[in-house]
Structure 1
Amino acid sequence: MRKGTTADNSQNKQANESLEHPYHPVFLKLGNPNDKAIYEFIKNEITGVEIIDTILRQLKELLKIRNVKTWAEEDFDQLLKAQLGDTAIEEYGTWVYYPWSKKLVHLLNKDAFIEVRTNRNLYKITPEERLVLQSKIIGVVGLSVGQSVAFTLALERVCGALRLADFDTIDLSNMNRLSVGVQDIGVNKAVLAARKIAELDPYMDVTCYTAGLTDENMDDFFTRDGKLDLLAEECDSLPVKIKSRIKARSMGIPVIMDTNDKGLLDVERFDLEPDRPILHGRMKLFEGMSDAAVIEKLDRLTPAERLNTTVDIIGAENISDRMKQSLKEIGVSITGWPQLASAVGLGGAMVADVSRRILLGQYNVSGRYNVDFSDLVN
């Protein structure tokens, strides 16, 4: 849907190709002639574009942060002039276009944007720690609970890059626990999480694996543009849970999992314990088997073996009475594993907090932990 036509068809083609990404925003520097042409194309040739320009407000925050001790409102114009130099205000910073929402937003450049956006982290996270975290890559598998995990990691900027894997799409029944809108039904869960993160912080490097984590893409997921520094595993598939840990252990990558019910958090420090048993050695079915034998058996598990192994991993003592009642009803009166938004939110907070401390060398053990509100608040 375009307004009118433009004279340069090749330029239009190039611009359109830049706008086709399902979750990557388009970055435009107006000092670059090609970017300027795409900017004009978006503004003038695409119907329904919303232009959002709050750059002066952002610059005011930036200058106030950099001049805390001496800040005075009456000095803003002078400080702004020094900051802009010979650059016109429209050309300052970066314009970011979100194809899925047709929003064209004027933002600070990356370093200044991060400086302002994370300013209220100080000094719970120091500037030096922020730089360390900015270099880290975290993989998240399973974007139901994992959506809360990924978004909280992005909110705190616990890493500079995220890899998100999920084959599933949003259904109406997901909307008891996922922060989505009715317009998102049918959208891939990883793509939707990536879009939310891009709208929060377009400078986060996010890659989606919309087939989920598979045997075919696992190497790429773990190593693309650098090895993962940490894996947050939140998927429903037992084979993927185990295979991803075998891979992580072979590469010395720590794994975190929030099990949601009763606030159960698992931490496996394969980076510090290369011979540590997977899932704390709780899988009776696979005791004494080699990794190769485990992988081969995973592809031919019976439904009973899957269920019994899942219970072994979680531990019957870590399943709430309400969950036990619900499990009996799966396939009878309910179609899937029950989850509540409050528990999903707690899981995102726990994983983000522990991930940050692991990546900063502040937490250096493996373990299982319960943060159960029913026990803590009663």
Structure 2
Amino acid sequence: MNYFRMEPENTIYHNSSTVYRPVFFRRVNDKEKMDYLLENNKEIHIIDQIEAQLVELIRLDHPSKKLTESEQRIFIDNHIGATSLYDYGVWVYYQWLNQLIHILDEEEFIRIRTSRNIYKITPEEINLLRKKKVGVIGLSVGQSIAITMAMERICGELRLADFDTIELSNMNRLRVGVQHLGLSKTIVAARQIAELDPFIKVICYTNGVDGENIDSFFLDEGKLDILVEECDGIDMKIISRIKAKQYQIPVIMDTNDKGMLDVERFDLDPERPIFHGRLKRVDGLSVIELEQLLNQLTVQDKVEYLVDIIGFENVSDAMKLSLQYMNKTIVGWPQLASAVTLGGAMVTDITRKIFLGKFESSGRYFVDFDELIQP
């Protein structure tokens, strides 16, 4: 297939491993471009369920009435007017799937997509949440969080950062398939979000976040409203908080052990120490000094930092056992799918409450199944 070029952000690259943004065709303006794509890609898979989506929309407009099929048809015809069903809404091309899918355009799509949230989330709150920007550093635990946020649609923009690729051992906790092995964790997560809701803006930092691009991650195209920190590296775990504190951005972290959730409201209390004052050894150091110090740490040093941050009393017995065998009989940080999934739920719930002004505290909270559910 030849490359199909439009505006830079809408360029189609066939079979590229780095593409994660779909291409939109609104046939009023993009008929020739879409027809060109179809003419030059005979293998494309077309999915058109626009009529079923319009039926859902009509039902939302008449919630108390049980409409017959003929009544639905009349309402749909009145709704789309002179526009043909084929031209109504938007066609979305997912290059990595080679699929062209017909959906309602943004406002109607979001209205239906969030209709089962009401009134747990009110229409006014849904509109407020659409303006929020969330940054996620670390796409192991972070993948579950980002996708849960997208499903619940508690933000309009997600910035995803991780330098790593998907390995077979990651699949004990990541919602991926064997076809994703070797692909960027950020790209795969971004694609999953785009397949769920192509109107959520996703920005990928496939080389992760470091001292050179961290300001861009926090500030470009508008300041983040919340940072979700789930990275494995102790250096960025610390430095990202220094930056969040500087920019007065709240930080949320799930440790996926004993259901521990950290909330640091640097937006409400910009003078509060990072990690609730548990890491006094780095107080007063600049970002450059921190990078120099942290780059020299041994594995044992990093474990000691983590123990200071988390607290040995807050580590489960199973995790304590695992730490003894780190780089001896095991080579990676132990994580379970159930704990990672719980983290996605907890962080999403707290983020939504912070955005809606329903949670204003900093602190450490636990949803420990071993304590809550006992034989």
- Equivalent position to 1:23, from 20, 24, 28: 20
Summarize deviations over 1:311-344 as a string: whole Å, max 9, x none. 1111111111111111111211111001110000
Counterpart check, 1:115 vs 2:108: no
Which residue is 1:196 aligned to?
A: 192
Deviation at 1:146, TM superposition (A): 0.2
Cα distance in 2 for partners of 1:312, 1:147 equals 26
Deviation at 1:72, TM superposition (A): 1.3
Cα distance in 2 for partners of 1:262, 1:27 equals 43
Cα distance in 1 for partners of 2:37, 2:310 equals 51
- In terms of mean alpha carbon deviation, does 323-332 or 55-64 score higher? 323-332
8 Å CA contact 2:129, 2:156 repeated in 1: yes
TM-score (norm 1): 0.94
Q: Judging changes above 3 Å, is the alpha-carbon distance between structure 1 residues 364 and 15 closer, same or farther for their aligned structure 2 residues? A: closer
Deviation at 1:13, TM superposition (A): 4.4
- Equivalent position to 1:214, from 210, 213, 216: 210
- Equivalent position to 2:295, from 263, 286, 299: 299
Which residue is 1:8 aligned to?
A: none
Q: Indicate the SS of the match to 2:27.
A: coil
- Equivalent position to 1:139, from 112, 117, 135: 135
Cα distance in 2 for partners of 1:69, 1:12 equals 47
Cα distance in 1 for partners of 2:197, 2:93 equals 13
- Equivalent position to 2:89, from 93, 107, 121: 93
Summarize deviations over 1:140-169 as a string: whole Å, max 9, x none. 000000000000000110100000000000
Cα distance in 2 for partners of 1:306, 1:218 equals 21
Q: Indicate the SS of the match to 2:271.
A: coil
Which residue is 2:74 aligned to?
A: 78
Cα distance in 2 for partners of 1:279, 1:47 equals 55
- Equivalent position to 1:51, from 46, 53, 56: 46
Q: Indicate the SS of the match to 1:211.
A: coil
- In terms of mean alpha carbon deviation, does 216-225 or 37-46 score higher? 37-46
Summarize deviations over 1:156-193 as a string: whole Å, max 9, x none. 10100000000000001111110001000011001100
Deviation at 1:40, TM superposition (A): 1.7
- Equivalent position to 1:270, from 266, 274, 293: 266
Count of matched residue positions in the alignment of Structure 1 and Structure 2: 368
Which residue is 1:187 aligned to?
A: 183
Deviation at 1:291, TM superposition (A): 5.9
Which residue is 2:158 aligned to?
A: 162
- Equivalent position to 2:344, from 345, 348, 352: 348
2:162 corresponds to which letter in structure 1? D
Counterpart check, 1:231 vs 2:227: yes
Identity %: 52
Q: Judging changes above 3 Å, is the alpha-carbon distance between structure 1 residues 240 and 75 closer, same or farther for their aligned structure 2 residues? A: same
- In terms of mean alpha carbon deviation, does 15-24 or 215-224 score higher? 15-24
8 Å CA contact 1:285, 1:309 repeated in 2: no
Q: Judging changes above 3 Å, is the alpha-carbon distance between structure 1 residues 303 and 205 closer, same or farther for their aligned structure 2 residues? A: same
8 Å CA contact 2:4, 2:37 repeated in 1: no
Q: Judging changes above 3 Å, is the alpha-carbon distance between structure 1 residues 139 and 288 closer, same or farther for their aligned structure 2 residues? A: closer
8 Å CA contact 1:284, 1:312 repeated in 2: no
Cα distance in 2 for partners of 1:12, 1:298 equals 46
Q: Indicate the SS of the match to 2:258.
A: helix
Cα distance in 2 for partners of 1:145, 1:24 equals 22
- Gap regions ≥5 residues in structure 2: none
Cα distance in 1 for partners of 2:326, 2:292 equals 28
8 Å CA contact 2:4, 2:12 repeated in 1: no
Which residue is 2:59 aligned to?
A: 64
Counterpart check, 1:369 vs 2:365: yes
Summarize deviations over 1:258-310 as a string: whole Å, max 9, x none. 00011110000000000010011111432465666445423333433222111
Which consecutive aligned stretches of 4+ in structure 1 deviate over 2 angstroms post-superposition? 11-17, 41-44, 284-305
Q: Indicate the SS of the match to 1:215.
A: coil
Cα distance in 1 for partners of 2:301, 2:7 equals 52
Which residue is 1:6 aligned to?
A: none
- Equivalent position to 2:330, from 327, 334, 342: 334
1:30 corresponds to which letter in structure 2? R
Deviation at 1:47, TM superposition (A): 4.3
Cα distance in 1 for partners of 2:365, 2:228 equals 15
Summarize deviations over 1:3-42 as a string: whole Å, max 9, x none. xxxxxxxx9444997212610000000111xx22231233
2:28 corresponds to which letter in structure 1? G
- Gap regions ≥5 residues in structure 1: 3-10
- In terms of mean alpha carbon deviation, does 50-59 or 306-315 score higher? 306-315
Cα distance in 1 for partners of 2:5, 2:365 equals 54
